Structure 1
Amino acid sequence: MSMIGEYLRVTPAELDRAIQDPDWALDFVEEVQDAEEESEPVPADARHFSTYKAWDMLRFLLARAEFPVNVIHGEEPFADDEDWGYGPPRYLRPERAHLAARALRSTTYAQLIAGVDPADLTRAEVYPLGWDEPGALEWGRHWYDGLTEFFGAAAAADDALLVWLD
């Protein structure tokens, strides 16, 4: 079983409903995931995005860079009694999504990995391990670029984001 970083763009009204009715939120997440599974939209056009297993690597790199928004775990809890895979979901309000989008755009992946040795990730026990493989640091670039596009689209639409590990 894998741990996967998951995101869903929601309007402010949908966020309010999700906070009030976490069961509705989970059903809505599954509905969007099912719909987009067939169409596979690019991150800028998607409502759902996954960082796959790269979430912990990105968490490690963003923490090193003192990133201003917790884009990996979200910032505000809701549905504390719910488990969406690996704990309860969290969210980012639109203003935090805007800040995150600006910071992601201004932080290149090359900047994130500058000075990082794969052994640093191994020592920190960053999931999913295996950092001694050639090109291990490059593996996260695709996911970071997609996350940057996804957050940019969320900010442009003034959306909030639901965030969870599945």
Structure 2
Amino acid sequence: MSMIGRYLRLTRDEFERACQDPRWAAEHARALYDRDDAAATARVLETDKAWHALDFLLNRRGFPVDVVYGEADMPWPEGEDWGYGPPRILTADRVRAAVDALDDHAPDILAEGVTPTDLAAASIYPTAIWERGEEADWVAAHWADLAKYLRAAAREGDAMLLWIT
């Protein structure tokens, strides 16, 4: 089973409701991920297995916002999770801060100077692909998708939930 990075955009009202009622947040996320229409697709995103490499590469470049794991814990009932722990939060202000930093962290330069050997040595998931010598081009493609998603969220004033399943 693969570990997949997931995102959910939330309006201000949805964000407040999610923080007050985490079970509603879980149901809302499931409902949007289960739908196959443009409105739902705009609210969710997956970075597939690129999440760990994204975190490594963005941290290496000094990206100022944790857009992979989120920056705050979400209140969450004991014993419930969404996969590999409960979701975490990016507030609307932190989404805007991430967007402000995007121009200095373009997808085409994200992996500059990093080899598959570097990623394997750092035990970046999924390690098998780096051990085979695959380049990180596909990670940059996920970064481009995430950057577009962040920009859309910032335009709308949305916050986010982030988690790994």
Q: TM-score of the superposition, structure 1-length normalised?
A: 0.91
Task: Give, in whole Å, the separation in 2 of the partners of 1:64 and 1:125.
Answer: 15
Task: Give, in whole Å, the separation in 1 of the partners of 2:56 and 2:17.
Answer: 32
**Structure 1: gaps spanning 5 or more residues:** none
> Contact 1:105–1:148 (CA<8 Å) still a contact in 2?
no
Deviations 1:11-42 (A, max 9, x none): 1111111111110000000111112xx23x49
Match for residue 130 of structure 2?
131
Runs (4 or more) in structure 1 with deviation over 4 Å come to: none
Deviations 1:70-98 (A, max 9, x none): 00000110134331100111111101001
Tell me how far 1:125 sits from its aligned partner.
Answer: 0.6
> Contact 1:72–1:163 (CA<8 Å) still a contact in 2?
yes
Q: 1:113 is paired with a residue of what secondary structure?
A: coil
Deviations 1:92-144 (A, max 9, x none): 11010011122124311232211111111101110011114454211212211
Count of aligned pairs between the two proteins: 162
1:86-105 equivalence runs, <5 A: 86-105=84-103
Task: Give, in whole Å, the separation in 1 of the partners of 2:134 and 2:97.
Answer: 30
**Structure 2: gaps spanning 5 or more residues:** none
* Backbone CA RMSD of aligned residues: 1.8
Task: Give, in whole Å, the separation in 2 of the partners of 1:105 and 1:31.
Answer: 33
Q: 1:46 is paired with a residue of what secondary structure?
A: helix
